[in-house]
Amino acid sequence: MSEELLLAIDAGTGSCRAVLFGLDGSQVAIGQREYSHPELAGAPGSQVFDTDRNWRLICECVREALAASGASPDAVKAVSATSMREGMVLYDARGDEIWACPNVDSRAGEEAGDLVRSGEAQEIYEHAGDWVAITAPARFRWIARNEPDAFASIAHVGMLGDWILTKLAGVFVTDPSLGSSSGMFELADRDWSDRVLEICGLDRSVFPPVVEPGSVVGSVTAQAAAETGLREGTPVVVGGADTQLGLLGIGVTQPGRFTVVGGSFWQSTVVLDEPLIDPQARLRTLCHTVPDRWMIEGIGFYCGIVMRWFRDAFCELEKAEAEREGVDVYQVLERKAASLPPGANGVFGIFSNLMQASRWVHASPAFVGFDVANPERAGRSECFRSIEESAAYVARGHLGVVEEIAGIEVRDAVLTGGAAKGTLWPQIVADVLGVPVRVPAVKESTALGAAIYAGVGARLYDDAGAAAERLVRFERTHEPDPAAAAAYAGLYETWLELYRRSLELSEDGLVRPLWRAAGT
């Protein structure tokens, strides 16, 4: 291949990937690896981001994408990066990683509780737009208390997407979208908050400069070239946070657009032209990658990871069937579940809760409502469909909250990410939300957003927003079925009550919750 290509590297919650795009926005090749984040012994709720192992996986992804494309490394005109939000990496004065965690690390429960009781959590929320449950302030206090030598050695702080740029080019920078996910920003200023840094006992000098996405900050070093297969000297360009880049990758930069980014987690979002903060601390507000834009969102916890768990734990037969047919196992599972009625023959999935940032707790994972007298109506297909329905119920709840806060009425929605690859899940979302749902042609919209900024840095595009409008294409629209939408209106209310009662079991300590935020 001789065409010019752009590379996006994405460190998600459940996997990392490298995606090559043509200048027309077409996806040329992808390399992907699943990973997980082990618990640190003696630190309940902890999850460790293994920088050495995960960097090796990222390098494998880049090499796989290059090989699959058949392109020379010279064809890659620029590389950018994105990642899950909230996860962070700390470095010493030599630039070596000394501490790292993914977004769902919740070891700092005691420290988050201290911030809540002192009133500082509310103060941080008013500055930064996010609660202390999975953001940096409580984590820094945990490190200071439990790993004082590491805390004293901090010379640089970066988010996970920033870490990829550091590995590629040896620079320390962040952008407003990833930086604001730390919970340490002055949201309206799109920069670090001196007051929040003061609360954390940290000097501003250890925090990187905030630069806009699309800025060239260096080039691929000789070491990074040897590890990834990229050409030494390839421009390295600032990208941003996964959800915000996912919005750019489907052309959503203007206020009032409702989008569900369906990956390992589901983010139900609306773009804002001012930094509105939920007065009830249910949802959170972050900076968009686009200047003078913000984003409010509700998070559906582990929606995609629950699907992966179900696939690996229960679907050996479907895996074998998919292998015989030469298709993805999810395609087989969706085909079987598509014939079921709304409500999956009475089976409900209890997984993610509606977001309440100030006290975010989840019930123990469960399926309820089996009819054991009719096994043909209470099997894997019902469970699979109930997982898809439960994620859609969470999106419906978040839609109501963002309509209230932003003062809008949502008339249509976009579903992107892995959840949009099939046809059943988007249709369920349309039926549950009761509005048309559009699906983009490129499902890796987060990576496309990063690639667009890589193109801006390489001067192949003049403006990210204009490039997105020109490149983004939608392949289909799912209209809500009136009968299904009416059925789901009642099923949603039933699910809410089932969830409330299931949550009581976790709150009473009888069963292990799906996840519990620090400080709850």
Calculate mean pLDDT across residues 229-243: 97
Q: How far is CA 26 from CA 3, 4, 298, 440, 471, in A?
A: 12, 12, 29, 12, 8
Query: In this structure, what are the phi and psi dihedrals at residue 179, rounded to the nearest 5 degrees?
Result: -60, -40
pLDDT reported for residue 443: 85
pLDDT confidence bin for 104, thresholds 50/70/90: confident
Domain ranges of the chain: 5-249+442-457+467-475, 303-439+481-507
With a pLDDT cut of 70, the percent of the chain lying above it is 100
pLDDT reported for residue 516: 86
pTM of the model: 0.90
pLDDT confidence bin for 442, thresholds 50/70/90: confident
What sign for the dihedral angle of Cα 181, 119, 272, 427? positive
Which residue, among 10, 5, 6, has the nearest Cα to 447 in the 3D structure? 10
Calculate mean pLDDT across residues 134-158: 96
Is residue 461 within 8 A of residue 468, CB to CB? The reply is no
pLDDT confidence bin for 517, thresholds 50/70/90: confident
DSSP 3-state of 415: strand
Q: Do the first three CATH levels of 5-249+442-457+467-475 and 303-439+481-507 match, i.e. the same topology?
A: yes
Q: Which amino acid is at 423?
A: T
pLDDT reported for residue 215: 98
Tokens at 507, concatenated:
């709150």
Indicate whether 2 pLDDT > 70: no
Tokens at 118, concatenated:
């002192």
Report angle CA 391, 397, 402 to the nearest 5 degrees: 120
Calculate mean pLDDT across residues 411-416: 95
Helix (H) or strand (E) holding 209: none
pLDDT reported for residue 73: 97
Rounded to the nearest integer, the mean pLDDT of the chain is 95
User: What is the spatial distance between Cα 491 and Cα 408, in angstroms, rounded to a whole number?
Assistant: 25
Helical segments of 301-460, H only: 303-314, 316-325, 329-337, 380-406, 424-433, 445-457
Which of 103-107, 221-225, 306-310 has the lowest average pLDDT? 103-107
pLDDT reported for residue 1: 45
pLDDT reported for residue 68: 97
Indicate whether 178 pLDDT > 90: yes
pLDDT confidence bin for 63, thresholds 50/70/90: very high
Which homologous superfamily is 303-439+481-507 in?
ATPase, nucleotide binding domain (3.30.420.40)
Between 515 and 427, name the one with better pLDDT: 427
Calculate mean pLDDT across residues 47-73: 97
Calculate mean pLDDT across residues 280-292: 95
Query: In this structure, what are the phi and psi dihedrals at residue 133, rounded to the nearest 5 degrees?
Result: -60, -50
Indicate whether 161 pLDDT > 70: yes
Up-side HSE of residue 245: CA atoms within 13 Å toward CB? Answer: 36
Q: Strand order in 266-272's β-sheet?
A: 284-287, 294-300, 266-272, 258-262, 413-416, 437-440, 474-478
pLDDT reported for residue 159: 97
CA 486 to chain centre: 30
Which residue, among 11, 10, 7, has the nearest Cα to 22 in the 3D structure? 7
pLDDT reported for residue 520: 78
Q: 458-486, pLDDT tens digit by residue?
A: 999 999 999 999 998 999 999 999 999 99
Calculate mean pLDDT across residues 173-181: 98
- Where b means 16+ CB within 10 Å and e means fewer, 166-204 reads bbbbbbbbbbbbbbbbbbbbbbeebbbbebbbebbebee
Which architecture characterizes domain 5-249+442-457+467-475 according to CATH? 2-Layer Sandwich (3.30)
